[in-house]
C-alpha cells in the first residue's frame, strides 16, 4: 500500500491473524514507519533443532548473522518486504525484533558480609564468571599477581586481546572479582579470586544489539566446561515488550539457566515507577537484582531502595526483583578507554572511580554466587537462587521494590 508521500507500508491482515501473531509488534511498527527497509530480527525455529533451518531462511531471503542453537533460533537480516512470507513458513515459530540494548549505569562488601566470608577463605577461586558487557581492561586488580581474565571474546570489533573502550564492563568485573591489588585490599570485589570470562557485546557508547548478546551467550554455552563458567552477570537491559516467553533475551537466559549456569541480571534503572523491570530481568527463572542506597554505612538500618531501581511486578503479579544489593556511589575499577588491545597498559592516574545503578548491584550478587559455588560446587541454579533469596534481610520495603531483601553473603555461606 502506498502512502501520500509515496512510501510503501506493510499491513499484516492475514485471515485469522496467524501471520500477525508470529511477528513481534516492534517489527510491524518498523515496517509501517520505515516502509521497505532492511530489518534485523531473531527468528525462532518451530522444530527442535536448527538442522536445515539456516538454508530454509536463506531461501526466504534472509542473511544469517548468527546461528543460536542453544535457543533454536537464528539472528538474521531481512527485507521488510520478505517478512510476511517468512512468517507464513511452517518452519518459523516466531520472529522477534533485534532490539537495542544499553548498559544499566545510573565496593559495598562489608554491608553484605562479603569481607567476612573472604577472610574465612571463600573467594570464588576456580569459579568462572562470564561478564557480558563492554569488555574488560587489564587492570592490575584483575591481572596481578596473575591474570584472572582467562578468556576474552569480542563480538563488536573482533579483537583478540582484552580491552574496554567504555569502562562499564571493567567496573562491573571489579565489583564481582577485583582483588584490591592497587589499594592494598581496600577496594576488593566480592569474589576476589574468581576467574573472569569477558564477552564484549556492547560498543564504546555502552550500546549493543540483542543478536550480539545472544551470540555471546551461545559462546558461553559452547565454552562453559573449558572455563568452568558457572555464573553469568548481565548489567544490561532494554524495555520488555511482549512477554518473557517470546522476548529473545528472556528466552535465552532461561536456556542458559537450564544448562547449569546461574544467571544474574539487573532489574533496570527506571524506578520508582512500578512495572519497569527490564529484559532479561523479566525472566522468572533467573536472579534479578535491584539497587539499595546504603548511605555508605555498614549498618543496614538506614538503607533504602534506590529511587532509580526498577520495580515489579512483571506481568500481573510476577514478583521481581528477587534480591537487592548496594548500588549507589560504589567504588570499583577505572579504565583507560584509549588502551589499544594487545599492548602494554600504562599506569592509570586514578585506579578507581564511583558509579551507581543496578549495573553495580548485579555483580555483587554474581560474586556472591561464585563464592557459594566455591563452597558447594554441585549446586544447580534453582538451588542457588533459593539460597540467595533465603539469605535476604528485609528493609521494610514492598516486595516489588526489594524482593526478598538485601543479600547477606555471610548468611548465604553459613558463617
Could you confirm whether 408 is annotated as catalytic? no
How many Cα atoms occupy the beta-carbon half-sphere of 271 within 13 Å?
27
Domain-embedded: residue 325: yes
Answer whether residue 108 shows pLDDT above 80.
Answer: no
309 and 332 co-located in one domain: yes
242 and 359 co-located in one domain: yes
Q: Hey, what's the cell of 74? A: 537464528
C-alpha span between 189 and 179 (Å, rounded): 6
234 and 128 co-located in one domain: yes
153-181, pLDDT tens digit by residue?
999 999 999 999 999 999 999 999 999 99
Answer whether residue 388 shows pLDDT above 50.
Answer: yes
Select which of 168, 210, 235, 247 is catalytic.
168
Sheet containing 236-239: which strands, arranged edge to edge? 207-209, 100-103, 236-239, 278-279
64 and 143 co-located in one domain: no
Question: Is there a contact between 299 and 268 (Cβ–Cβ < 8 Å)?
Answer: no
SS (HEC) of 202-250? CCCCCEEEHHHHHHHHHHHHHHCCCCCEEEEEECEEEECCCCCCCCHHH
Q: Which residue has the higher pLDDT, 19 or 384?
A: 384
Could you confirm whether 168 is annotated as catalytic? yes
C-alpha span between 105 and 178 (Å, rounded): 19
Count CB neighbours of 11 within 10 A. Answer: 11
- Which CATH number belongs to the domain containing residue 92 in this structure? 3.30.70.80
Residue 247 main-chain phi, psi, to 5 deg:
-65, 125
Select which of 24, 97, 98, 133 is catalytic.
133
Select which of 235, 238, 341, 359 is catalytic.
359
Q: At what angle do helices 248-258 and 210-223 cross, to 10 degrees?
A: 10
Answer whether residue 152 shows pLDDT above 70.
Answer: yes
Q: Does the N-terminal peptide bond of residue 247 adopt cis geometry, omega within 30 degrees of 0? A: no
The sign of the CA dihedral 23, 200, 208, 381 is: positive
Domain end, chosen from 78, 98, 118, is at 98
Could you confirm whether 139 is annotated as catalytic? no
Number of domains, the chain: 2
Domain limits for position 65: 15-98
Answer whether residue 13 shows pLDDT above 50.
Answer: no
Answer whether residue 415 shows pLDDT above 50.
Answer: yes
Amino acid at each position: 500500500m502506498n502512502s501520500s508521500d509515496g512510501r510503501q507500508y506493510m499491513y499484516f491482515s492475514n485471515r485469522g491473524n496467524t501471520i500477525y501473531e508470529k511477528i513481534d509488534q516492534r517489527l510491524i511498527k518498523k515496517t509501517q514507519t520505515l516502509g521497505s527497509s532492511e530489518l534485523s530480527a531473531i527468528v525462532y525455529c518451530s522444530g527442535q533443532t536448527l538442522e536445515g533451518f539456516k538454508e530454509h531462511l536463506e531461501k526466504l531471503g534472509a542473511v544469517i548473522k548468527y546461528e543460536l542453537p542453544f535457543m533454536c533460533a537464528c539472528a538474521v537480516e531481512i527485507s521488510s518486504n520478505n517478512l510476511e512470507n517468512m512468517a507464513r513458513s511452517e518452519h518459523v515459530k516466531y520472529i522477534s525484533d533485534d532490539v537495542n540494548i544499553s548498559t544499566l549505569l545510573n565496593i559495598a562488601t562489608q554491608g553484605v558480609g562479603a569481607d567476612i566470608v573472604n577472610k574465612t577463605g571463600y573467594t570464588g577461586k576456580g569459579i568462572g564468571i562470564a561478564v557480558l558487557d563492554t569488555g574488560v581492561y587489564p587492570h592490575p586488580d584483575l591481572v596481578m599477581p596473575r591474570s584472572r581474565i582467562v578468556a576474552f571474546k569480542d563480538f563488536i570489533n573482533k579483537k583478540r586481546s582484552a580491552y574496554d573502550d567504555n569502562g562499564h564492563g571493567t567496573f562491573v568485573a571489579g565489583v564481582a572479582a577485583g582483588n584490591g591489588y592497587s589499594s592494598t585490599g581496600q577496594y576488593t570485589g566480592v569474589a576476589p579470586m574468581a576467574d573472569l570470562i569477558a564477552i564484549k557485546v556492547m560498543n564504546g557508547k555502552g550500546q549493543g544489539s540483542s543478536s550480539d548478546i545472544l551470540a555471546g551467550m551461545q559462546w558461553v554455552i559452547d565454552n562453559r566446561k573449558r572455563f568452568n563458567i558457572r555464573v553469568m552477570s548481565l548489567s544490561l537491559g532494554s524495555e520488555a515488550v511482549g512477554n518473557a516467553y517470546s522476548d529473545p533475551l528472556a528466552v535465552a537466559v532461561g536456556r542458559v539457566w537450564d544448562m547449569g549456569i546461574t544467571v544474574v541480571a539487573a532489574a533496570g534503572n527506571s524506578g520508582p515507577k512500578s512495572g519497569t523491570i527490564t529484559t532479561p530481568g523479566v525472566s522468572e527463572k533467573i536472579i534479578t537484582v535491584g539497587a539499595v542506597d546504603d548511605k555508605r554505612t555498614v549498618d543496614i538500618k538506614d538503607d533504602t531502595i534506590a529511587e532509580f531501581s526498577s520495580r515489579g511486578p512483571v506481568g500481573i503479579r510476577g514478583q521481581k526483583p528477587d534480591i537487592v544489593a548496594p548500588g549507589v556511589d560504589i567504588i570499583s575499577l577505572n579504565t583507560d578507554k584509549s588502551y589499544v588491545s594487545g599492548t602494554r597498559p600504562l599506569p592509570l592516574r586514578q585506579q578507581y572511580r564511583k558509579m551507581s545503578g543496578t549495573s553495580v548491584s548485579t555483580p555483587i550478587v554474581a560474586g556472591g554466587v561464585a563464592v557459594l559455588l566455591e563452597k558447594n560446587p554441585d549446586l544447580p541454579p534453582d538451588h542457588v537462587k533459593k539460597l540467595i533469596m533465603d539469605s535476604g534481610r528485609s528493609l521494610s520495603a514492598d516486595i516489588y521494590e526489594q524482593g526478598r531483601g538485601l543479600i547477606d553473603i555471610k548468611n548465604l555461606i553459613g558463617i
